[in-house]
């Protein structure tokens, strides 16, 4: 199923607005304690054991990846105008986005210690 460009742009706008919201919540959560304390190893790992915070981190990762790679796709599509170029750039940016999300999710899983005996 191919999306029309207008639908893709709606996704771009929605992910941008949603990313602003989740990043604002993330920043507000950082204000609970002094910034230097929030960066200490124990506090960082404790954040990864907080399930609502994990959901926030994953949603930031997904929203920023979708928004950012779609923005890159739009920029690259303006360089050349052909069906093969558009298809290639779309596939490339979707693959890169999926790789970034997979690697970020892997990092969240490892830091949390899901089933790895770190708890």
Residue 33 lies in a domain: yes
- What pLDDT score was predicted for residue 119? 47
The count of domains in the chain is 1
Tokens matching residue 55: 């959901």
Determine the structural domain holding residue 63 and report its residue range. 5-112
pTM of the full structure: 0.85
Check which CATH number belongs to the domain holding 37 and give it: 1.20.1300
Q: How many CA atoms lie within 13 A of 50 on its CB side?
A: 12
Q: How many CA atoms lie within 13 A of 20 on its CB side?
A: 5
Q: Mean pLDDT, 10 residues at a time, over the chain (119 residues)? A: 85 96 92 86 86 94 97 94 93 96 93 60
- What are the CA-CA distances from residue 67 to residues 8, 49, 63 (Å)? 10, 27, 6
Closest by Cα among 52, 71, 60, 50 to 21: 60
């Amino acid at each position: 199923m191919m999306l029309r460009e207008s639908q893709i742009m709606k996704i771009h706008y929605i992910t941008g607005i949603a990313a602003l919201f989740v990043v604002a919540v993330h920043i507000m959560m950082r204000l609970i304690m002094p910034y230097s304390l929030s960066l200490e190893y124990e506090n960082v790992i404790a954040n990864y054991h907080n399930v609502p915070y994990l959901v926030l981190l994953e949603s930031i990762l997904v929203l920023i990846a979708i928004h950012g790679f779609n923005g890159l796709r739009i920029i690259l599509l303006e360089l050349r105008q052909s069906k093969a170029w558009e298809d290639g750039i779309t596939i490339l940016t979707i693959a890169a986005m999926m790789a970034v999300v997979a690697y970020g999710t892997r990092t969240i899983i490892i830091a949390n210690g899901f089933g790895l005996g770190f708890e």
